[in-house]
């Protein structure tokens, strides 16, 4: 470190017979924060054909701040058509100046972002349709790959599927359990307040059961998995993109859809219905705990009421929903990872986007399912 006190950098222009002398003195250290400016007007008075030379006898320590100053001086001299004898500088400074381009390039004009709402909406629509197409195509590819694998001709490794299954299934049990237990408990709380007025405490059981099985368990589990696994898929694939790992797969002719995407999507699509079932049971347990403690409902009564409230086709519907949610999260997050850029920042953007698209998409799909259920009367 430069702990010693340095002399301030100075320059001085002095006309002499047949030449102009620039005297440089002091220490030119950029980190000291003292880099002198060179006013362009200083070269105005120099008659043409008279060279500018340098005197560096009193020059102390210097670093790139001197070179920066001289570079600027060179540019100004060229504009003023003044000859600059840089060979009168110390040889090392002369060498560094030789490395520099004559003119810095002009920065490109900033891109204009005109306000064009119609074009923006149009572009957004086209992009969205394009994405829907791409995701559907990927889904079709994955389905074909799945069939091929089932027939023993696929290019998916069982070990990949197993590790993805483990990451999406058993490893998620705790968080899915905690969230669904609390959701069930909250439903029981809210329900008990109203139902108690009608002395219909026992119906808390059917309220919790129907809400969990029809909506809450499937949606909550899907949201958790979108944040947990979808984000991870997008981050992993976009990091692979940045390391050229995806390129390497393509060059070998290993289809990305089979090798990478299929196990991820299958893992989510298979584990999601199981997690849904688990979430339902844990949610009902949460509801029972609240009813038992607060409303003093008997365990047998709660169990009986729950069974009575739940026809089996409610479960079928929930299974279908969570299978679709799982496939949707898997496909979109893989697609977002594949489409991401190659830098570290892009990995973050891809992970964020995968989570947002996953959550919003799951809720939107759930709304569609609600309409369908209404129409077919489940």
Partner 1 sequence: MNNQMPSTDDRPALITVNDLTLAFGPRVIQHDVSFQVKRGSIFAVMGGSGCGKSTLLKSMIGLLRPTGGTYKVEKDDYWAGDDASRIRIGRRFGVLFQSGALWSSMTVGENVALPMQMFTKLEAPVIRRLVELKLGLVGMLHAIDQYPSELSGGMRKRAGLARAMSLDPDILFFDEPSAGLDPITSARLDDLILNLRDGLGATIIIVSHELSSLFHIADDGIFLDAEQKTAIAHGSPTWLRDHCDDPMVHAFMHREQLDSSSSHGNG
| Interacting residues toward partner 1 by CB under 8 A | 1, 29-31, 33, 35, 63-65, 67-68, 71-72, 91-93, 95-96, 99-101, 104-105, 107-108, 341-346
* DSSP-based three-state secondary structure for 142: helix
Complex with partner 1: residue 91 or 313, whichever CB lies closer: 91
Token pair for 100: 């520099």
Alpha-carbon gap, residue 163 to 175, rounded angstroms: 19
Specify the residue for token string 């850029």. 341
Complex with partner 1: residue 298 or 343, whichever CB lies closer: 343
Alpha-carbon gap, residue 49 to 223, rounded angstroms: 77
Complex with partner 1: residue 106 or 374, whichever CB lies closer: 106
Complex with partner 1: residue 65 or 332, whichever CB lies closer: 65
Rounded to a whole number of angstroms, the minimum distance from the CB of residue 353 to partner 1 is 16
Q: Which element (helix H / strand E) includes 22?
A: strand 19-28
Rounded to a whole number of angstroms, the minimum distance from the CB of residue 138 to partner 1 is 24
Q: How far is CA 368 from CA 165, 185, 364, in A?
A: 28, 27, 7
Token pair for 112: 């204009």
Complex with partner 1: residue 70 or 204, whichever CB lies closer: 70
Cβ atoms of residues 88 and 53 within 8 Å: yes
Alpha-carbon gap, residue 329 to 218, rounded angstroms: 13
Complex with partner 1: residue 5 or 345, whichever CB lies closer: 345
Rounded to a whole number of angstroms, the minimum distance from the CB of residue 24 to partner 1 is 15
Complex with partner 1: residue 58 or 342, whichever CB lies closer: 342
- Beta bridge mates, 26: 59
Alpha-carbon gap, residue 266 to 272, rounded angstroms: 10
Q: Would residue 144 be called left, alpha or beta, if left means φ above 0 and alpha means ψ between -120 and 50 degrees?
A: alpha
Rounded to a whole number of angstroms, the minimum distance from the CB of residue 169 to partner 1 is 34
DSSP 214: I
- Beta bridge mates, 19: 16
3-state helix, strand, coil in the chain (%, to 5): 70, 5, 20
Rounded to a whole number of angstroms, the minimum distance from the CB of residue 25 to partner 1 is 18
Alpha-carbon gap, residue 302 to 306, rounded angstroms: 6
Complex with partner 1: residue 108 or 152, whichever CB lies closer: 108
Q: Residue 212: which of 237, 188, 196 has the closest Cα? A: 188
Alpha-carbon gap, residue 230 to 223, rounded angstroms: 10
Token pair for 256: 């990305």
Rounded to a whole number of angstroms, the minimum distance from the CB of residue 31 to partner 1 is 5
Rounded to a whole number of angstroms, the minimum distance from the CB of residue 67 to partner 1 is 6
Specify the residue for token string 């299934």. 169
Rounded to a whole number of angstroms, the minimum distance from the CB of residue 256 to partner 1 is 20
Rounded to a whole number of angstroms, the minimum distance from the CB of residue 56 to partner 1 is 13
Complex with partner 1: residue 51 or 242, whichever CB lies closer: 242
Rounded to a whole number of angstroms, the minimum distance from the CB of residue 110 to partner 1 is 10
* Chain centroid offset of residue 185 CA: 34
Complex with partner 1: residue 30 or 134, whichever CB lies closer: 30
């Amino acid at each position: 470190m430069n702990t010693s006190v340095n002399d301030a950098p100075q320059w001085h222009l002095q006309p002499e017979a047949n030449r102009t002398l620039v005297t440089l003195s002091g220490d030119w250290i950029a980190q000291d924060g003292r880099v002198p400016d060179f006013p362009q007007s200083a070269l105005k008075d120099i008659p043409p054909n008279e060279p500018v030379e340098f005197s560096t006898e009193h020059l102390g320590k210097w670093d790139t701040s001197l070179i920066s100053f001289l570079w600027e001086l060179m540019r100004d001299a060229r504009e003023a058509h003044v000859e600059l004898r840089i060979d009168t500088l110390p040889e090392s400074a002369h060498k560094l100046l030789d490395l520099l381009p004559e003119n810095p390039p002009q920065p490109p004009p900033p891109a204009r972002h005109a306000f064009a709402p119609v074009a923006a909406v149009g572009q957004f629509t086209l992009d969205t349709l394009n994405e829907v197409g791409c995701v559907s195509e990927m889904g079709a590819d994955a389905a074909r790959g799945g069939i091929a694998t089932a027939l023993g001709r696929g290019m998916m490794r069982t070990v990949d599927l197993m590790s993805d299954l483990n990451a999406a299934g058993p490893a998620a049990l705790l968080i899915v359990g905690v969230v669904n237990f609390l959701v069930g408990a909250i439903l029981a709380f809210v329900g008990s307040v109203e139902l108690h007025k009608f002395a219909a405490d026992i119906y808390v059981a059917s309220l919790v059961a129907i809400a969990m099985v029809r909506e809450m368990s499937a949606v909550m589990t899907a949201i958790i998995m979108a944040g947990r696994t979808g984000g991870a898929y997008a981050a992993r694939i976009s990091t692979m993109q940045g390391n050229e790992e995806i390129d390497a797969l393509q060059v070998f002719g290993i289809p990305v859809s089979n090798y990478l995407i299929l196990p991820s999507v299958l893992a989510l699509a298979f584990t999601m219905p199981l997690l849904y079932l688990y979430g339902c049971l844990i949610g009902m347990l949460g509801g029972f705990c609240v009813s038992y403690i607060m409303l003093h409902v008997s365990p047998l009564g709660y169990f009986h009421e729950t069974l009575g409230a739940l026809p089996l086709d409610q479960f079928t519907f929930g299974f279908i929903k969570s299978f679709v949610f799982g496939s949707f999260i898997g496909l979109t997050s893989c697609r977002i990872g594949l489409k991401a850029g190659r830098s570290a920042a892009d990995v973050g953007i891809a992970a964020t986007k995968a989570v947002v698209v996953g959550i919003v998409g799951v809720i939107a799909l759930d709304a569609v399912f609600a309409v369908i259920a209404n129409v077919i009367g489940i």
